Amino acid sequence: MGIPTNETIFRLLDRLAFCTADELESEWVEFKPWDGAKESLRVAVEYAVCFANAGGGAIIFGVADRTRGRDATIRGAQGYDLDTWRRGIFQATRPNLRVEVEELAVPEGTGTLLVVRAPRGDQPPYGTSEGLFKVRVGANCMPMDAESFTKTRVATGTLDWSGEPANRIELADLDPVEIARARNVLRRSNPTSELLQLDDQALLVGLGAIRGGLVTNAGLLLFGREDVLAAACPQNQVHYVFQISDTAVARND
């Protein structure tokens, strides 16, 4: 179906003669009663990030829950400003979301429904400025669990997994032989590097193997003792690729 057009919304409203608004909701459609401009804007922000984290969708304000019949269900919206809503949703979402906000004329209620269309975002995960992260699952907005949240951030490049702290890994778990090997490699490739003048711990900080006093995932992979790697990251592999252009690979080790 995708994000509904006005024609699709009108067809759904016609079905209110024998369905409740709740029964018409889907992966792309959410109906909401009008609870005043301020409260409804807060709801719009929450559902905008929910749809942006999935396939996009529309929130239609001014439709009551759990009732049948157009006259009883379509009550409309009033007392809002379209530009205030567009700006408010943009400012209250992280990353900022640009949504479409428009009026839909109907014969019932106040004569106007308010429709907010949120596209699928290209920088997920999206959340509110208050730290709420949800995703559309069927006809519901569900909280994003920690694993899904982290996987989404890693996949989209908003989280550098290599720079995150390695779980329960300490400095003593790093191999001095591997640190010395890295120093020798650096000496051969860049003998004037200022990193060569640093002690081992400062060198590891300079290489990104330690951050904030904690060993990073990169530090574990590059310098972890063999037994530590086997226990903490048994699937570990270092794959080196050097590309001299977008299509030409000079080394693939």
Segments in the chain below pLDDT 50: none
84: region left, alpha or beta (phi > 0 left; psi from -120 to 50 alpha): alpha
Condensed to tens digits (0 to 9), the pLDDT of residues 10-50 reads 999 999 999 999 999 999 999 999 999 999 999 999 999 99
| Whole-angstrom distance, CA of residue 192 vs CA of residue 177 | 22
Are 9 and 60 contacting, i.e. CB atoms less than 8 angstroms apart? yes
Q: What is the pLDDT of residue 103?
A: 98
Q: What is the pLDDT of residue 152?
A: 63
Neighbours of 197 (CB within 10 A): 8
Domain ranges of the chain: 6-155, 161-252
Percent of the chain with pLDDT over 90: 63
Q: What's domain 6-155's architecture?
A: 2-Layer Sandwich (3.30)
Mean of the per-residue pLDDT values of the chain: 90
Condensed to tens digits (0 to 9), the pLDDT of residues 191-223 reads 888 888 899 988 998 888 998 889 998 899 999
Are 86 and 116 contacting, i.e. CB atoms less than 8 angstroms apart? no
The C-alpha angle 3, 19, 45, rounded to 5 degrees, equals 40
Are 142 and 135 contacting, i.e. CB atoms less than 8 angstroms apart? yes
